Chain A
Amino acid sequence: MTGPPALSVRDVTFAYARRGSRDTALSGVSFDVAPGHRVALLGPNGSGKSTLFRLLCGAITPATGTIERFGVGATVADRSDLGVVFPTPALDKHLTVEENLVLHGTLFGLSRARVRDAIGPALDRAGIPEVRTARVSALSTGLARRVDLVRALLPGPRLLLLDEPTLGLDPPSRTAFVDEIDSRASDGLTVLMSTHLTDAAEHFDRVVLLHEGRVAADDTPGALRHAIGALLVSVADSTWRPPDDAWTLRGATWERAAPADANAVAQLVGSLAADGTPCSVTPPTLEHVFRHATGAALADAEAAP
């Protein structure tokens, strides 16, 4: 890697003041995002993702630690190279798509004429040229999200931050949205996406797992999965009594790495079946990785207050 990272987070701590006490949201969070990489920030609700996202945007400042974009402090860095997509599309529903995009373009110092010229190609590239004159209130959720992505990309940012951008999208819309991000990333755009959906994070270059305000793991999806074994044997019954210490209860599921030998796997599954214990043998997912790293399931952690 030459030059500074697109994003550098070092020992960041943040706490909210609540009625005389301080509620710690982030503790010693550190990670880097290299230029041109796609990184997913994966964690359940309440893990500190939203707070970290606001810090990365420069909307708030950390209590301790530093955040830099391209080598400059986030609160003083030039925001013209930053594109941000929030969980709710940042579009005025009373305005047309074009009116929204012109307004946002001018916020980045672009002239109205220049933005108008750029809108056509941008919507063409996103595959939605037909929405240009449509009122935002008339768009479906999926289309509004895709227009919002065009809004964030129109000024030509070098770094794109996305906070739960696929929330509430149906599978086709989600696929179209992710394809558009991939297409931009292949052009060298650096992407950091905050999400609690493992399938959304799976195809990113790197995944940073966030749990209770700390980084629980940080690696490529493949390396994270490989670290807990090629295959996992799972028994989805917390009341079940495992026969040996190889098993670990994670959330409501007992898990163990499958033996390397295929015959041994078959023997293990056979013995469980003989005891009337249904089990599954699957390659590990990021859900498994999260459970392995934190001892909690993503869904359980989400349900916790």
Chain B
Amino acid sequence: MTPLQLTTIILEIVRRAWRRLLRQPARLVGAIGTPLLLWLLIASGAARSFTPVGFDEVGYEAFMLPGIMTLITVFACIFSSITIIEDRNEGWLQALTVSPAPRWTIAVGSIAGGATVGALQALVLLPAAPLIGLALTPQGIVAATAAVACTAIAMTALGLAFAWRCESSAGFHGVMNIVLMPMWLLSSAMFPIDGASAWIRAVMQLNPLTWCTEAIRAPLLGGEWLTSLVLSAGFAVAMIVIATAVIARRPKA
């Protein structure tokens, strides 16, 4: 196939992901509404009780906003990944895997579709930053957007790699909850690394989702973001390679 044909396949799969999202409003509400509610309740409730170490000047709401953007990205991307299991149950995936389209185009298209859907849902929160006293700069917006994009790509690819081998969406949810909730809780979304005990701090520093959350937070709250962003991009690339290898290796038909 020519590069144009391959690009068309990838774009069609991305287009499908968007159509599915826009035609399932409940999915949109679930992916944005739940974390948003969590942010409003926790941040508002804990605002006067907790002062995150090293973030005395910005307040807990502002500290938590990037963590909530990470959570929205994780939720939305994982919801997108479940599509693969539905596709298999409904026969769509079988037709895809016996078509002449190379497997990697299915992987890249699915990752791109899920990631754009997830990233844009998280970025909806970005305009809320000035409302809680954060000054957005053009450079900060670009850097935070890039960080959200890396997070979305990595989490969609991680979800796809799991979903490709999962028989049921219930099993997928089980595995994902065990993996993702600890990952998110230990990603500096709710509490800063500096205030954690030594062993938790060590785990948090090794957690790729910490790099992502910090890469979103630093441009918004003012700080050095390049290192976190580079690490997040590396995480995204590694997950793309893993997901593509899993999908290309063997059909789960």
Contact B12 A103 (CB under 8 A): yes
Q: Which of B93-101, B121-129, B145-153, B156-164 lies at the interface?
A: B93-101
Q: Which of B17-25, B42-50, B173-181 lies at the interface?
A: B17-25
Among B13, B20, B92, B98, the residue within 8 A (CB) of A58 is B98
Interface digits, A91-105 against B, CB 8 Å rule (1 contact, 0 not)? 111110001001110
Contact B12 A106 (CB under 8 A): yes
Contact A79 B8 (CB under 8 A): no
B170 at the interface (CB under 8 A from A): no
Residues of B close to A103: CB separation below 8 A: 12-13, 15-16
B253 at the interface (CB under 8 A from A): yes
Contact B253 A54 (CB under 8 A): yes
Contact B251 A59 (CB under 8 A): yes
A24 at the interface (CB under 8 A from B): no
Known: A94-B23, A109-B5. A84 touches B251 (CB 8 A): no
Contact B99 A94 (CB under 8 A): no
Contact B99 A79 (CB under 8 A): yes
Q: How far is the CB of B96 from chain A (nearest CB, A)?
A: 7
A302 at the interface (CB under 8 A from B): no
A87 at the interface (CB under 8 A from B): yes
Q: How far is the CB of B157 from chain A (nearest CB, A)?
A: 21
Known: A90-B95, A108-B100. A95 touches B5 (CB 8 A): no
Contact B90 A88 (CB under 8 A): yes
Among B5, B8, B19, the residue within 8 A (CB) of A94 is B19
CA distance A99 to B91 in the complex (A): 17
Residues of A close to B24: CB separation below 8 A: 94
Residues of A close to B90: CB separation below 8 A: 88-93
A111 at the interface (CB under 8 A from B): yes
Q: How far is the CB of B199 from chain A (nearest CB, A)?
A: 40
CA distance A159 to B243 in the complex (A): 32
Count residues on chain A whose CB falls below 8 Å from chain B CBs: 31
Q: Which residue of B lies closest to A89 (CB)?
A: B91
B248 at the interface (CB under 8 A from A): no
Among A57, A59, A60, A88, the residue within 8 A (CB) of B91 is A88
Q: Which residue of A lies closest to B96 (CB)?
A: A107
Main secondary structure on A side of the interface with B: loop
Contact A109 B98 (CB under 8 A): no
B246 at the interface (CB under 8 A from A): no
Residues of B close to A82: CB separation below 8 A: 98
Q: Which residue of B lies closest to A152 (CB)?
A: B95
Among A57, A79, A112, the residue within 8 A (CB) of B100 is A79
Contact A57 B98 (CB under 8 A): yes
Q: How far is the CB of B22 from chain A (nearest CB, A)?
A: 9
Contact A104 B95 (CB under 8 A): yes
A64 at the interface (CB under 8 A from B): no
Contact B91 A86 (CB under 8 A): yes
Contact B94 A86 (CB under 8 A): yes
A117 at the interface (CB under 8 A from B): no
Residues of A close to B9: CB separation below 8 A: 106-107
Contact B19 A99 (CB under 8 A): yes
Q: How far is the CB of A53 from chain B (nearest CB, A)?
A: 10
Contact B94 A59 (CB under 8 A): yes
A80 at the interface (CB under 8 A from B): yes
Residues of B close to A151: CB separation below 8 A: 95
B198 at the interface (CB under 8 A from A): no
Residues of chain B from 106 to 154 with CB closer than 8 A to chain A in the complex: none
A124 at the interface (CB under 8 A from B): no
Interface digits, B1-14 against A, CB 8 Å rule (1 contact, 0 not)? 11001001100110
Contact A91 B251 (CB under 8 A): no
A179 at the interface (CB under 8 A from B): no
Known: A59-B251, A88-B91, A93-B90. A79 touches B98 (CB 8 A): yes
Q: How far is the CB of B169 from chain A (nearest CB, A)?
A: 16
Among A87, A89, A92, A112, the residue within 8 A (CB) of B16 is A92
Among A84, A87, A88, A92, the residue within 8 A (CB) of B98 is A84
- Mark A residues whose CB is within 8 Å of B: 54, 57-60, 78-80, 82, 84, 86-95, 99, 102-104, 106-109, 111-112, 151
Q: List 26 A-B contacts (CB under 8 A).
A: A57-B98, A59-B98, A59-B253, A79-B100, A84-B95, A86-B95, A90-B91, A90-B92, A92-B16, A92-B20, A92-B87, A92-B90, A94-B23, A99-B19, A102-B12, A103-B16, A106-B9, A107-B9, A107-B96, A108-B100, A108-B101, A109-B1, A109-B2, A111-B5, A111-B8, A112-B8
- Mark B residues whose CB is within 8 Å of A: 1-2, 5, 8-9, 12-13, 15-16, 19-20, 23-24, 87, 90-92, 94-101, 251, 253
Beyond A95-B16, A104-B99, 10 extra complex contacts between A and B, CB < 8 Å: A84-B94, A89-B91, A90-B94, A92-B16, A92-B20, A106-B5, A107-B12, A107-B100, A108-B99, A151-B95
